[in-house]
Amino acid sequence: MTVKRLIRALLGAGVLALLLATCTFTVDETEFVIVERFGDPRRVITEAGLGLKWPPPVDTLVRIDRRVRMLDPEPAEYLTSDKKNVLLSSFLVWRVEDPRQYFVSVADRRGAEARLADIMRSELGTILGRHPLSALVSVEESERDMAGVMEEVTRRTAARAAKNLGIGVSAVRLRRINFPTQNKEAVFRRMEAERQRIAKQYRSEGRESYQKIIAQADLQQAMLVNQALQKAAEIKGAADAEATRIYAEAYSQAPDFYRFLRSLEAYEKIVREHATVVIPSDAKLLEVLRHPPAAEGKPK
């Protein structure tokens, strides 16, 4: 009897353990869990912890990753409002927000990303068709509005994804902007012409500024030179007047001596070292030598 009871107890414990294993489940913080009953989603578990269910095949579990993911589809070609073809590489940041809607609409990640890529391309094509290429790429800051364009794409994509897929889209952004091979050469020529136009404008403005600076400098130079010449003339005039006064005063005090000194100054200018000067004997220049002035207070 003891052995039979032990076997029964073991069997009971095994059955209980099996029931616990098949009727309980855990939910991780990184996932949602949907409890299906014969294929019909009955409950959505959004909180981490321990849950209960009926054993299979009555209840089955579907686990859905709730973490943020990034979709990076292949580049696609779009047409802008000014009929320019552009090749855009974009990416999309998404996560599951309505697990039931997500499960019913797409079932798994592969299906979700395929639908999201279609929605994103559709919205990009629609919105870029209403904006010129300069809204994405332009040397003029006032023309660029890439942030506004991508915010509009994000808003419209998020609305469609939430309504149809149960997915929340937090951002749609451009990774690279390129041009189709057949259009690159023409685009590069236009870009080069635009850069040359801007460079020509800068050079023209620089030459204009240069001419203004040169003209201003010439004007200041002329004013300074005129002021200096005027000042020099004033000083020279005052010096000449003072010299004339001194000469007049000296002449009035001793006319003969004054003439004598002036004659000596004339000799000094005329007669140089090792120079021969031929002067007639009756020249006035020799008069001072023939008749030197008498000393003051003595008869001549």
Q: Are 111 and 200 in contact (CB under 8 A)?
A: no
pLDDT reported for residue 181? 74
CB atoms within 10 A of CB 86: 21
Q: Could you tell me the two tokens for 216?
A: 């201003």
Q: Of 161, 149, 156, 78, whose CA–CA distance to 113 is shortest?
A: 161
Under DSSP, the state recorded for 134 is: G
Q: Are residues 59 and 131 in the same domain?
A: no
Domain boundary pick from 160, 178, 196: 178
Total domains present in the chain? 3
Q: Could you tell me the two tokens for 237?
A: 């005039």
* Within-domain flag for 238: no
Q: Are residues 105 and 124 in the same domain?
A: yes
Domain boundary pick from 161, 178, 195: 178
pLDDT per residue, tens digit, the chain (300 aa), is: 576 676 666 666 665 666 666 788 888 999 999 998 887 888 898 888 888 888 888 888 899 999 999 999 999 999 988 888 888 999 999 999 999 999 989 978 999 999 999 999 999 999 999 988 888 877 677 778 888 999 999 999 999 999 999 999 999 999 998 877 766 677 678 778 888 999 999 999 999 999 999 999 999 999 999 999 999 999 998 898 888 888 777 777 777 777 777 777 777 766 666 667 676 766 666 666 666 655 444 444
pLDDT reported for residue 96? 94
Q: Are residues 31 and 112 in the same domain?
A: no
Domain boundary pick from 43, 65, 87: 65
Q: Are residues 25 and 86 in the same domain?
A: no
Phi first, then psi, for residue 45 (nearest 5°) are: -100, 120
What residues pair up with 33 in beta bridges, in sequence order?
Answer: 45, 63
Q: Give the residue numbers spanning the domain of 60.
A: 15-65
* Within-domain flag for 269: yes
Q: How many angstroms separate the Cα of 121 from the Cα of each of 37, 124, 152, 186? A: 37, 5, 13, 26
Measured torsion, CA atoms of residues 196, 197, 203, 204, in degrees rounded to the nearest 10: 160
Residue 83: CATH number of its domain: 3.30.479.30
Q: Could you tell me the two tokens for 262?
A: 């002036």
Question: E strands along 46-189, which residues?
Answer: 49-52, 59-65, 69-71, 76-79, 85-96, 167-178
* Within-domain flag for 117: yes
The per-residue DSSP string of 96-117 comes to: ES-HHHHHHHT-SHHHHHHHHH
Q: How far is CA 43 from the centre of its chain?
A: 53
Q: Are 96 and 64 in contact (CB under 8 A)?
A: yes
pLDDT reported for residue 20? 64
